[in-house]
Structure 1
Amino acid sequence: MNRRLQLASAIGAVTCGLVTPAFAQSGRSATLEVMSEEERRGLSWSEGRAALGGDVRVPVGRFDASARVVTTRDSVRHDGADAVVDLVVGTGWDLGAIQLRTDAIGHVFAGARTKADYVEAGVSASYGYGPLYATLGVIGAPSQRAIGGSNLYLYANANAGIPGTPLTVLAELGHSSGSVRDTFRAERLRPGGSYSNWRLGLEHRRDRLTVGVDYIGTDISGTGDASRFADRRNATDRLIGRLQVSF
């Protein structure tokens, strides 16, 4: 019952603090999504099981704020959390044809048995040419007890619409590294230490509906868990499906 109250409180805080103002401002957006699993950087955040998610984005002067709530299904990686709330405040600007962006990110876990929350900050540069849109970025988490040290994620991604069709091709490469203070908890975001991940996907977009399928993978071994946080069996190559509705 206590974990259900924590989950309800987290979702309620996001709903009251961000959803209501969003619909009173221009430039707002919201989405609802169902996926075969919640995946981040090649790692499953939902025990390899289906998940539900929703997000809202609100303009705040020169900044924008967003909140995303996703079910994590009693996640081993996040110490039994039922859901995660991602809170982001960021801003962007143009440097010629290049778009720059910075973000401050907080991850709040509802129902975790121990304190699992942590924060990150990111910076990225994007460039569009015809149907192609590419981004280079870095996301860093300073040393925190919840993740057993620091974490640094370098990534490059691109997407391109296929001319004459409603289809978009997506690709991403990333690499996670960082310092280790607690080897047990560091396995949470980096099972087995530093690793690389990849994604190749295809989306069909029509009006407000997006249907996608992704092939994702990592170079993490699927065996040899040294920590309950590692969950290596849900960090290997697999296919993920997703359905999203935008408002």
Structure 2
Amino acid sequence: MRGTLSLPVAEGLSLDAAAVSLWGSDRHGGADAVADLGVTYARQVGGWRLSAEGRYHLFPGASHQGYGELGAGAGFLIGPASIDLSAHYAPDQSAVGGDNLYLAASAAVAVPGTPLTISARIGRSSGDADHPVRAARLRPDGTYWDHGVSLDYLKGRWFAGLRYANSSIDGPDSAHTGASLIARFGLSL
């Protein structure tokens, strides 16, 4: 389960929160959930949509698991298509055993005359590891690539989607990896 909330506080500035259930995640100290708390600033500059954010990942019920990260993004709209580039950096912190940089590129196109959108994404995670066991929280197999494609349906406030995701993670201790097919649905208020 996932829930999100965004509260605009000034032009382009919002306070954001998201919560996701984890069900006793060994990877995150047995936490049953993660709460992401942050602030985002977004601005339209010509044809570019630019954003910057600061975020803290809190793991209720688990000791010394929380960590912060900074992010930036740039996107461009070309007719029914959008292209986005983003970077997220978690500075050196004991909870993640070093630092982590995640770079990603994505593209999406609305299928004309339908409520469907097709999108694709590729990303790369890398960084230094001061403590290999803790660093495995963000990079279970060291530096890795991930990718995925999605088909989403949006009608009014309802949405549903199907996503294929995979990564290059394949080490012996990497649980919950490999190709997956994820279905999602929800209501936007």
The TM-score by the shorter chain falls in which range? Answer: over 0.9
- Which residue of 100, 104, 112 corresponds with 1:151? 100
Instruction: Compute the TM-score of the two structures, normalised by the length of structure 2.
Output: 0.97
Q: In structure 2, what is the equivalent of residue 224 of structure 1?
A: 172
The aligned amino acid for 1:134 is I
Give 1:64 shift. Answer: 0.5
Rounded Cα–Cα distance in structure 1 between residues aligned with 2:159 and 2:118:
13
Counterpart check, 1:177 vs 2:126: yes
Q: In structure 2, what is the equivalent of residue 141 of structure 1?
A: 90
Rounded Cα–Cα distance in structure 1 between residues aligned with 2:16 and 2:141:
32
Q: In structure 2, what is the equivalent of residue 199 of structure 1?
A: 148
- Which residue of 56, 59, 67 corresponds with 1:109? 59
The aligned amino acid for 1:162 is V
Give 1:94 shift. Answer: 2.3
Give 1:224 shift. Answer: 1.3
How many residue pairs match? The answer is 188
Give 1:235 shift. Answer: 1.7
Task: Return 5+ residue gaps in structure 1 as ranges.
Answer: 1-51, 226-231
The aligned amino acid for 1:217 is N
Rounded Cα–Cα distance in structure 2 between residues aligned with 1:107 and 1:155:
19
Q: In structure 2, what is the equivalent of residue 92 of structure 1?
A: 42
Counterpart check, 1:54 vs 2:3: yes
Structure with bigger helix share is 1
The aligned amino acid for 1:224 is P
Cα deviation code 1:180-209 (max 9, x no counterpart) = 100111111101100000010101111111
Rounded Cα–Cα distance in structure 2 between residues aligned with 1:237 and 1:134:
24
- Which residue of 180, 185, 188 corresponds with 1:243? 185
Rounded Cα–Cα distance in structure 2 between residues aligned with 1:111 and 1:90:
26
- Which residue of 15, 19, 23 corresponds with 1:69? 19
Structure with the larger RCO, 1 or 2 (CA within 8 Å, 6+ apart): 1
Instruction: Compute the TM-score of the two structures, normalised by the length of structure 1.
Output: 0.74
Equivalent position SS for 1:77: helix
The aligned amino acid for 1:220 is I
- Which residue of 126, 132, 135 corresponds with 2:75? 126
* Large movers: runs of 4+ above 3 Å: none
The aligned amino acid for 1:181 is D
Rounded Cα–Cα distance in structure 2 between residues aligned with 1:181 and 1:233:
22
Rounded Cα–Cα distance in structure 1 between residues aligned with 2:188 and 2:43:
24
Q: In structure 2, what is the equivalent of residue 35 of structure 1?
A: none
- Which residue of 157, 162, 179 corresponds with 1:208? 157
